Amino acid sequence: MNIYDVILRDFPFLLKGLGIAVILLAALLALGFVIGLTICLLQLYGPRTRFVQWPLKAYERVFRGVPIIIMLFIFYYGLAGVFDISSFAAAILALGFRSGAYQSQIFRSAFQSVPAGQMTAARAHGMSLAQAIRWILFPQAIRHAIGPWTNEFSSEIKETSLAYVIGVVELTRQAHYIITSTQGNTLTVFAVVALLYFIVNKAGNSGLYWLEARLAVPGFEKRQ
């Protein structure tokens, strides 16, 4: 059987792996978004006590300083001992918590790039701190954040491949299965897999550029 027939035959498996990778990506980005935004808001507007700020700093340091593979193993073996948890759930948690540490920095600099006068003006007209953040700062910060967030999206789609090491049957592992079962043409299979990642990455980026353009209002045009 020639390699192209094999790929054609096994393509549904690759697509299934790709589907798992995309779901993993969506889940980890969503989790990271919530964690990142919460950390950023606590750092900028939360209590200034060391009791609150120090753990946030430590969280970022740890999740940014340790390789993803190690984090995946720590979550996988750490949680498996306590809960009945699948490798997929462990991957979402490990990658999502980690993404939160990166997204918090993206949001922090986005909020900081909103001029201080915006907050002052909102408060001066009777908005509470929460209202000012919700209606005035957040809509502006999100427009600043979307560019760097696109980079984070690209990193994470590639990093879903590492969930392979704890046995999540995503795209890379499906590729491995196909190779072992056919003892076939590894080169071509991995080239196809690389192409699939490349396409999803490009598609995601285009979507985010489109969103950025749609949200742009005069004064918020894409810089450069």
Partner 1 sequence: MIEFLQFSAEQLPELLKGVPVTLSLWIIAIVLGFFLGLALAWARVYGNRFWYALSTAYIELFRGTPMLVQMFFIYLGLPQLGIVFDAFTSAVIAITLNSAAYQAEYFRGSVLSVPQGQLVAARACGMTQWQAIRYVVLPQALRRVLPQWSNEAIIELKFTSIAYTIGVVEITARASDIGSRTLEFFQIFLLAGVIYLVLTSSVASFLGWVERRYYVPGVTHV
Partner 2 sequence: MADTPVLRADAIHKRYADNEVLKGISLTLARGETKVLIGPSGSGKSTFLRCLNHLTKPDRGTIELDGVEISDANIDRMRARIGFVFQDFNLFSHLSVLDNVSICPIRVKRQARDEAIRRAREELERVGLGDKADAYPAELSGGQQQRVSIARALAMDPTLMLFDEPTSALDPELTGEVVKVMQRLADDGMTMLVVSHEMGFARQAADEIVFMEGGHIVEQGPPETLFSQPAQDRTRAFLNVIAEHG
CA-CA distance, 16 to 104, in Å (whole number)? 32
**Helix or strand (DSSP H, E) at 5:** helix 3-45
Among 6, 106, 136, 200, binds partner 2 (CB under 8 A): 136
For partner 2, the closer of residues 8 and 124 by Cβ is 124
Beta carbons of 222 and 213 less than 8 angstroms apart: yes
Beta carbons of 177 and 13 less than 8 angstroms apart: yes
For partner 1, the closer of residues 110 and 162 by Cβ is 162
Beta carbons of 87 and 168 less than 8 angstroms apart: yes
Beta carbons of 106 and 36 less than 8 angstroms apart: yes
Asked if 155 touches partner 2 (CB under 8 A), the answer is: no
Contact code string over 24-63 relative to partner 1, x by CB under 8 A = -------------------------------------xx-
Residues from 103 through 132 that contact partner 2 (CB under 8 A): 115, 117-118, 120-128, 131
Burial of 217 (0-12, 13-18, 19+ CB in 10 A): exposed
Least Cβ distance, residue 129 to partner 1 (angstroms): 31
Asked if 83 touches partner 1 (CB under 8 A), the answer is: no
> Distance between terminal CA atoms of the chain?
52
Torsion of Cα atoms, 124 then 128 then 133 then 134, to 10°: -120
Asked if 47 touches partner 2 (CB under 8 A), the answer is: no
Residues from 160 through 219 that contact partner 2 (CB under 8 A): 217-219
Asked if 121 touches partner 1 (CB under 8 A), the answer is: no
Residues that bind partner 1 (CB under 8 A): 61-62, 64-71, 73-74, 77-78, 81, 154, 158-162, 164-165, 172, 175, 179, 185-187, 190-191, 193-194, 197-198, 201-202
Chain contacts with partner 2 (rule: CB under 8 A): 115, 117-118, 120-128, 131, 135-136, 139-140, 143, 217-220
